Homo-oligomer: A and B are copies of this chain.
Amino acid sequence: MKKLSDLGERKAIHLISNIFMQGEVAVGIGDDCAALEIGKKYLLVSTDMISQKTHILKEMTPFQIGWFIVSINLSDIAAKGGTPLGLVLSFGLPKETSEDFLKKLAKGANICATTFGTYIIGGDMKESSEINICGTAIGIVEKDIFMSRKGAKPEDIIAVTGSLGKAGAGYYSLKSKIHKAKLTKLLFEPKPRIKEGKELAKLKCVTSCMDISDGLSSSLYQLQEVNNTGFEININDIPISTELIELQKERKKLDIHKIAFHFGGDYELLLTLQKNKFKETEESLKKIGGELTAIGKVTKNKKINIYDGKVRKPLENMGYEHFKTHIL
């Protein structure tokens, strides 16, 4: 009998999504959010759970745990171009949890929500053996600007918002003796790209979009699976976070491209868009304080290759997946 450790997270999700009837759902399991039709709009629903064992490093403050659960849920709303309407949070907590811890947890969740224009509207609290927190974000988007994971076409540009390797810089800073709060903040307090997602959707030239929660390589493989295309990534065009580049000056052995490709936790948006619209999209994002970088193109050839200016080689799929052994 197969176990989850044999299947891995994505096969297990595929297995149960075949069991769930999804009759009236506009967009169902497999995209960042589920979408329900409400008149001319889609109601977006995203849910994410974190648990002590897999997500909550001991160095995280309760404020950061609260921020994190809200942030990763809002990131899914951002990836669909949505405006968040609110979040509900379910806390599973050990009974030894202190009042102070709970207050800071709630404060972190609240400040993240209000920073990105929304609210915690409800929740639940239960006793459990270890910390488990589940968030569900509700958002809304006009149907005709909803950004699906599906729709990439050969010759489209592949682009990412912001920079990659921020969370990796935080993680490797934690592992080093000189632990820098500025860097771990990048890992523990990611910023959902709500503003960027809404702007991108408004411009109507994005052909597919998802957030990069499990790393760029894993996200590219997930995007490829639903799009029946391939991707060619120019490794030299990947926007590496300045913090990671700085950290590498002290820790020479860090492979910054490997981290940018395979380390999860950056919560940037990965998208494909019409080639002739890239320039104006980049400028529109700049105007609202965002960043967009072209990192490659969509190909007919169904492989994912990386190109360094000289040779093309296949991209390894080494991003984080639950139940599987973590490589990085």
In the complex, the answer to whether A54 meets B110 with C-beta atoms within 8 Å is no
Which B-chain residue is minimally distant from A98 (CB atoms)? B1
B-chain residues with CB within 8 Å of residue A33 when the two chains form the complex: 122
Scoring A residues 215 to 259 as 1 if CB is less than 8 Å from chain B, else 0, what string do you get? 000000000000000000000000000000000000000000000
Which B-chain residue is minimally distant from A121 (CB atoms)? B34
Residue A21 is within 8 A (CB to CB) of chain B in the complex: yes
The interface stretch among A11-19, A162-170, A178-186, A198-206 is A11-19
In the complex, the answer to whether A22 meets B54 with C-beta atoms within 8 Å is no
A22 and B132 in contact (CB under 8 A), knowing A45-B138, A98-B3?
no
A124 and B2 in contact (CB under 8 A), knowing A20-B106, A22-B119, A130-B129?
no
In the complex, the answer to whether B127 meets A48 with C-beta atoms within 8 Å is no
**CB-contact partner of A119 in B16, B23, B54, B92, under 8 A:** B23
Copy total for this chain: 2
In the complex, the answer to whether A34 meets B2 with C-beta atoms within 8 Å is no
In the complex, the answer to whether B106 meets A48 with C-beta atoms within 8 Å is no
A121 and B45 in contact (CB under 8 A), knowing A88-B136, A96-B3, A99-B7?
yes
Q: In whole angstroms, what is the CA distance A24 to B63 when docked?
A: 23
Q: In whole angstroms, what is the CA distance A41 to B20 when docked?
A: 27
Between-chain CB contacts (< 8 Å), 13 pairs: A4-B99, A19-B103, A28-B121, A28-B122, A36-B85, A45-B88, A47-B124, A49-B132, A49-B134, A51-B127, A92-B134, A128-B130, A136-B136
